[in-house]
């Protein structure tokens, strides 16, 4: 590759990196957090968000939760999943232990809210959450956790205690500069509406429930 082409490619890669576009103090029912909005473009209406507890110590391993957006669960309290309860628990623990919650805009495991609702309809006629996504032409899980690593590196985080049941999230950090020194489980009591959903995550996706 010619030198000019290499320089142009490098510039393009730099331009496509996430940038902390803005931040502000956000008082919540769990505690005070510094919220940073990450996007490639300052006009992006759906940036990824980092909520950093006011007690966060970046020189120690930081309790960290990677939470992918779930409008139905996080915002409307849907009982079809445990996402809203996981988010509330993560914010509580982050405030208590000086941790970080990364809110990643990857609705429906990366397929978006419209296709997620279509997937729900397929689940209602008998498909599980994985088969519904595959039927719609998507991967079982299309999320990208490299986004989270970029955000943590920008924040100056070097070691984390990862609050997760998902082995894919642990694996995502294997070759990164951010080291997972411990996994902390996040267990939510199932209900009648999400029991099969959680069983599918456990049996077919390897979630440690």
Name the pTM for this structure.
Answer: 0.85
159-163: strand order across its sheet: 19-27, 32-39, 48-53, 100-104, 62-68, 159-163, 179-184
pLDDT at position 206 is 56
pLDDT above 90: residue 49:
yes
Chain Cα centroid distance, residue 103: 5
Region at 77 (left for phi over 0; alpha for psi -120 to 50; beta for the rest) = left
Q: What is the C-alpha separation between 203 and 205, in angstroms, rounded?
A: 6
Residue 10, number of CB atoms within 10 A of its CB: 10
pLDDT at position 187 is 84
Question: Do residues 13 and 6 touch, judged by C-beta distance below 8 A?
Answer: no
Q: What are the pLDDT digits (tens) for 157-199?
A: 999 999 999 888 999 999 999 999 999 999 887 777 656 656 6
Q: Does the annotation list 66 as a binding residue? A: yes
pLDDT at position 209 is 54
Q: Does the annotation list 83 as a binding residue? A: yes
Q: Where are the domains of the chain?
A: 20-106+143-193
Q: Does the annotation list 79 as a binding residue? A: no
pLDDT at position 108 is 82
Q: Does the annotation list 135 as a binding residue? A: no
175 catalytic, yes or no?
no
Tell me the DSSP string of the chain. Answer: --HHHHHHHHHHHHHTS-EEEEEEEEE-SS-EEEEEEEESSTT-SS-EEEEEETT--TTSPEEEEEEE--IIIIIT--SSSSHHHHHHHHHHHHHHHT-EEEEE--HHHHT-HHHHHHHHHHHHTT--HHHHHHHTT--S----THHHHHHHHHHT--EEEEE-S-HHHHHHTTTSSSEEEEEE-------TTTHHHHHHHHHHH----
Q: Does the annotation list 109 as a binding residue? A: yes
Query: Which member of 41, 80, 105, 141 is catalytic?
Result: 141
Phi, psi of 80 (to 5 degrees): -75, -15
Any idea which of 13-17, 119-123, 175-179 has the lowest mean pLDDT?
13-17
Q: Does the annotation list 65 as a binding residue? A: yes
pLDDT at position 1 is 46
pLDDT at position 17 is 81
Question: Do residues 50 and 155 touch, judged by C-beta distance below 8 A?
Answer: yes
Q: What are the pLDDT digits (tens) for 66-86?
A: 999 999 999 999 998 889 999
pLDDT at position 6 is 44
CATH class of 20-106+143-193: alpha beta
Q: What is the greatest pairwise CA distance in the chain?
A: 61
**What is the residue-averaged pLDDT of the chain?**
87
Query: Which member of 20, 131, 143, 203 is catalytic?
Result: 143
Quick one: what percent of the chain has pLDDT higher than 90? 64
Place of tokens 């032409």: 137
131 catalytic, yes or no?
no
The stretch 43-72 carries a mean pLDDT of 96
């Amino acid at each position: 590759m010619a030198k000019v082409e290499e320089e142009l490619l490098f510039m393009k890669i730099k331009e496509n990196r996430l940038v902390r576009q803005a931040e502000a103090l956000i008082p919540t029912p769990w505690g005070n957090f510094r919220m940073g909005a990450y996007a490639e473009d300052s006009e992006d209406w759906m940036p990824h968000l980092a909520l950093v507890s006011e007690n966060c110590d970046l020189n120690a391993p930081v309790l960290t939760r990677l939470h992918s957006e779930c409008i139905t669960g996080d915002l409307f309290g849907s009982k079809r999943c445990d996402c809203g309860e996981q988010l509330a628990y993560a914010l509580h623990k982050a405030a208590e232990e000086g941790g970080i919650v990364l809110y990643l805009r990857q609705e429906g495991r990366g397929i978006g809210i419209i296709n997620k609702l279509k997937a729900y309809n397929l689940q209602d006629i008998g498909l599980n959450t994985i088969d519904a996504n595959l039927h719609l032409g998507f991967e079982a899980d299309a999320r990208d956790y490299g986004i989270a690593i970029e955000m943590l590196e920008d924040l100056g985080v070097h070691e984390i205690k990862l609050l997760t049941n998902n082995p894919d999230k642990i694996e995502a950090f294997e070759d990164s500069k951010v080291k997972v020194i411990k996994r902390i489980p996040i267990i939510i009591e199932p209900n009648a509406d999400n029991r099969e959903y959680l069983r599918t995550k456990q049996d077919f996706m390897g979630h440690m429930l």
